[in-house]
Amino acid sequence: MKILAIETSCDETGIALVEGKKTENGFVFTTIKDALLSQAHLHAPYGGVYPNLAKREHEKNLPVLYEQFKNDEFDAIAVTHGPGLEPALWQGIEFAKKIAKERNLPLFGVNHMESHLISSLAQTQGQTLNQDSQGLTFELKNVKLPALALLVSGGHTEFVLMREWFNYEVIGQTLDDAVGECFDKVARMLKLPYPGGPEISKLADEARNAARKTAGSGYGDFAAAKSPEVASSSLGEPTPPAVSSPLRLPRPMLQSGTCDVSFSGLKTAALYMLREHAKGTPSKAKESPLTEEEKAAFAAEFEDAVADVFVSKTKRALNETGAQTFVIGGGVAANRYLRERLQQLVLENYPDVEFRLPELAITGDNAVMIAQCALTHLLSGDWSLLRLDLDIRAIGNLSIAG
């Protein structure tokens, strides 16, 4: 079965054509075509996604991208109908409806977060990875349930438990900002371009590499001392650098007794720390008060704080649910350090849990994941996503839990 999928929930316009087949123990998905246009550079001056600009860009980009697909044959159309920015979602929906009408094809409404989850469970078979997933074959099989997913993106941060296929329970979530949003805002404080997640990650890696070379000296001025509660528990984390600096960001909610997280306090603490630092710098350095080295050290401390929180909360979630599979999905799942820390946690403490890490090609927003999600439902015989009479609307806050 071939599906044409459309994704416009945020600042990526995506159209993909994916073929799905049932196999003995699961499904196989082949990306026939994958067209993706990022608007990130246009939103960069605003430091975040500007909904009306996103809407206009999707409107402009969709027909351009669709040119590549207009001679293709497919059996159904899938479109993201939430969660996301409603003006942006509507563009994809109207476009999908138009094609469905013209071709007299069924239309399926897909949840963006469920797509992150399902596509992260699917695995490539040792193929070379590149930035797009064109020509890639993904297999979705042998998923042991219950499965726990940590979904981390620009708009969402949640622990989702799947006891049965397509049945989701949110067992923890952010009480305020999404972690991707926090990465982007802290990056902005450091005058790094939007989207800031990858920028912070690059800088933090530099600081860690430098610290490794001069082992034991920590991250320099913005050195990271681990919080006592984290350092003393067996969280499967790398040996913290021995440091002396009192400059340290908080690890919020570690003692909350829940799987919930919170990032607004971390963001504010980062802002205050930078302000304090700026006070001490000579006025000629006002424009960019941090040296490159200090910026990198600060980025590493921030990333450490985020990773400490997720390692601790993942441990709690795995203990509480007895999950057999753990998977991470969403844009922030591309973060190398977070991937490593979680992998280490599972390897050392949960040898029976299978950790599925998404291919980088599938972590950011794209239409391939929307197709894979729709195909998983359809090939399982579940037609609940079908929108009869093309009756579909954008739902900005659509939950994965139904």
198 binds, among ligand KG4, Zn ion, none (CB under 5 to 8 A by kind): ligand KG4
Q: How far is the CB of 12 from ligand KG4 (least distance, A)?
A: 7
d(C-alpha 46, C-alpha 316), whole Å = 37
Please tell me whether residue 372 binds Zn ion under the rule CB under 5 A.
Answer: no
Of the pair 243, 368, the CB lying nearest ligand KG4 is at 368
Q: Which residue is nearest to Zn ion (CB)?
A: 153
What are the residues binding ligand KG4 (CB under 6 A)? 10, 153-155, 180, 183-184, 195-198, 201, 330-332, 334-335, 364-365
Task: Characterize the bridge pairing of strands 76-82 and 26-38.
Answer: unpaired
With contacts defined by CB under 5 A, name the span among 33-41, 206-214, 220-228, 362-370 that binds Zn ion. 362-370
With contacts defined by CB under 5 A, name the span among 61-69, 127-135, 347-355, 361-369 that binds Zn ion. 361-369
Please tell me whether residue 365 binds Zn ion under the rule CB under 5 A.
Answer: yes
Q: Is 153 annotated as a binding residue?
A: yes
Please tell me whether residue 184 binds Zn ion under the rule CB under 5 A.
Answer: no
**Dihedrals phi, psi of 157, to nearest 5 degrees:** -150, 105
Of the pair 153, 314, the CB lying nearest Zn ion is at 153
Q: Is 154 annotated as a binding residue?
A: yes
Question: What's the Rg (C-alpha) of the chain?
Answer: 22
Please tell me whether residue 153 binds Zn ion under the rule CB under 5 A.
Answer: yes
Q: How far is the CB of 306 from ligand KG4 (least distance, A)?
A: 8
Task: Tell me the C-alpha to C-alpha distance, in Å, between residue 355 and each of 132, 327, 342.
Answer: 23, 6, 9
Positions in the binding site for Zn ion (CB under 5 A): 153, 365
Residue positions in the annotated binding site for Fe cation? Answer: 112, 116, 365
Residue positions in the annotated binding site? Answer: 112, 116, 151-155, 184, 197, 335, 365
